[in-house]
Structure 1
Amino acid sequence: MAKLKPVILCFFLQAIVVMNIIPGSDCRSFLPNDESLIESTCKKTPNYNLCLQYLKANPGSSTASVSGLALIMVNVMKAKAYDALKIIHDLQKKGAGPKQQGALKSCASNYNAVLVADIPEATEALQKGDPKFAENGANDAANEATYCEDEFSGNSPLTKQNNAMHDVAAVTAAIVRLLL
């Protein structure tokens, strides 16, 4: 037993030396991703805080590539489109004047286009490694939200949803642009 003490002490001292040689910042490079990728990516978007909010809220973002971060944002766009459609349908059920009903019908069509065309286009493009089409899908979704807002001529009950979709889509397009 007495002979083991010097050996154990020697291994212990070697472990301390090795831990001091490898700085803590180098250990971070062994991770597939960390918050620095999220932050550096979000800094290149038009809305840094919004980008951080959605990406950090998704547990998969910590190990995602830039393409993975873009896919997460496409899913946020999808959720925003469903939220807007729910509100549109609720407003249609409540009944409104013919002008507002027409605007709501147009907005429903806009958000259906986002869900049926833009989101699948962006998702498929990112999965296939063709970011240009993903950027087009995100930009189209932002445009659909703007078109919806314009239908109401300044008195929209959907301003919050339209702005949210526009902003999320703009962030998504900026992240996708990093892949070009």
Structure 2
Amino acid sequence: MILTCSPTFIFLHLVASLLFFIPPIQSILSHTSLLEQICRQSPNYHLCVMTLRSSIHHKSKADIAGFAHLTLEIVYANASITLERLHKIYVQTDDPKLKMALKDCLVSYNLIVKTYLRNALNALQNGDYKVVQQKTSITIIEVESCNNKFRNLATSPLRDTNIYVQNLCSITMSIVNKLFYTYQPILI
């Protein structure tokens, strides 16, 4: 038995598919305008736009808190990758000065990944924006400390990575600042 579909049935099927599987254009536009507003107030507009634009096409919450969570997740992922990279470089190097700098950075990035950023993510989920600000700020300081360990060496294998993590942290802090000041109770 051969089944045939009428053109009307095919058309209705396509319309139904579009309604259920493609997000409304207005929704995308409102997310884009919020994204633009957030990124214009961040310290690194282009990186902010590139980072947050991906959230429009994913199932992340496209509000200020959702954007803050997304950037914090990206910071966490990049810091975790940096920690793995540090381990590899540390094992492979024979230079004692480089090894010492890498060892110090391993301590910093272990704290960043296993303590500061995890605490920041938990605090963000609980709406404790002050803790998110503190932990993100401490992360920036730890990354800068790691960067400084290579100051007297010929090269820094983490320079670009450290700058990227710092920039992402700065963007996260600017978004969290919006949350912090938006949702603070007014005391009279």
TM-score, normalized by the shorter chain, greater than 0.5: yes
Matched, 1:37 2:34: yes
Cα RMSD between the aligned structures?
2.2
- Counterpart for residue 8 of structure 2: none
Aligned partners of 2:31 and 2:63 also within 8 Å: no
Structure 1 residues 148 and 45 mapped into 2: Cα distance closer, same or farther (>3 Å)? same
Query: Given the alignment, which residue of 146, 149, 154 partners 1:148?
Result: 146
Runs of 4+ aligned residues of structure 1 deviating over 4 Å after TM superposition are 27-33
Aligned residues: 154
Deviation at 1:96, TM superposition (A): 2.6
Bigger Rg over Cα:
1
- Counterpart for residue 121 of structure 1: 119
2:179 partner SS: coil
Query: Quick one: which amino acid aligns to residue 63 of structure 2?
Result: S
CA distance in 1, matches of 2:29, 2:179: 18
CA distance in 2, matches of 1:55, 1:28: 18
Deviation at 1:63, TM superposition (A): 4.1
- Counterpart for residue 53 of structure 2: 56
1:178 partner SS: helix
What's the TM-score once normalised by structure 2's chain length? Answer: 0.75
Q: Which ranges in structure 2 are unaligned for 5 or more consecutive residues?
A: 1-23, 181-188
- Counterpart for residue 89 of structure 1: 87
- Counterpart for residue 111 of structure 1: 109
Query: Quick one: which amino acid aligns to residue 107 of structure 2?
Result: S
Aligned partners of 2:112 and 2:142 also within 8 Å: yes
CA distance in 2, matches of 1:48, 1:69: 14
Query: Quick one: which amino acid aligns to residue 157 of structure 1?
Result: P
